[in-house]
Amino acid sequence: MVDISTSLGKVQLDNPVIPASGTFGFGLEMAEVYDINILGSISVKGTTREARLGNPTPRIAECPSGLINSVGLQNPGIDAVISHELPELRKVFHKPIIANISGFSVDEYAHCCSLIDKEEQVEIIEVNISCPNVHNGGMAFGTDPVAAAEVTAAVKAVTTKPVFIKLSPNVTDIAAIAKACEAAGADGITLINTLLGMRIDTRRRRPVIANKMGGFSGRAIFPVAVRMVWQVAQACSIPVMGCGGVSSASDVIEMMMAGASAVQVGAENLRNPYACKEIIEALPREMESLGINSLKEIIGIVK
């Protein structure tokens, strides 16, 4: 029997398949569809200090092999997540939980991470630095190594649990930003977040989504994600969670060969709610067909 277990640092996972933040809510809805304890973990919906209604609608645009979204970090706020969402999730999910934290200032990141760090059911804190820095003209934290390192250091100063920094692909040198986060104390890296995309309604002669541009995700971005996972895995010594266009067990194996220790499934969950379950069930068969006995043997095998 093949071994599909893996680990993210000291956190052990039964398998490497994790629904990506923003594509699985807080897990409760899907718990009514199938037993979500089949999952390796769950990266819950991105959380900010205050509740957010998100961006104006329409905020979703379909694309060939993907979609563009500009949801705008809609969430109930850190206090509601701690008091309601996480306790409710723990009733139906009994494995490690990854808390995804977003913010618009270094202080907000530190505040939210210090609170979530105290929650027993959270084993990894994932920090999304693709947000605009309101104190620096709106430039995303994740596009500048200095700003990325500043957020990382601030979060690490107020937390005890592993911190994974989720990086934006909308940069020139992804490895340089990952290395800056590692030097500032990051325990791991998640990548990639969405690319920046746009669709135009040619009949109405205006952008499809109200925010004009949004995050492009889905199967079309998978080769970009694999490339960036490989680059960061070569440049850094901390674990990587791969994300971006994953839609099959074969994709999981490819991402792990590039250097990922675990793999997040994002937009595919929106197309097929059973995507993660089907990938996990297919993974042993795919491994056997490739002569792989253990996933741990193939992590970063491509040099």
Q: Cβ distance 121 to 86 under 8 Å? A: yes
Are the beta carbons of 153 and 184 closer than 8 angstroms?
yes
C-alpha span between 191 and 198 (Å, rounded):
21
Catalytic residue among 113, 131, 236, 243: 131
What are the helix and strand counts (H, E) for the chain? Answer: 10, 16
Determine the Cα–Cα distance for residues 52 and 113; give it in Å rounded to an integer: 17
CA 189 to CA 194: how far, in whole Å? 15
Helical (H) or strand (E) element with 155 = helix 145-156
Could you confirm whether 113 is annotated as catalytic? no
d(CA 239, CA 18): 15
Q: What is the set of active-site residues?
A: 131
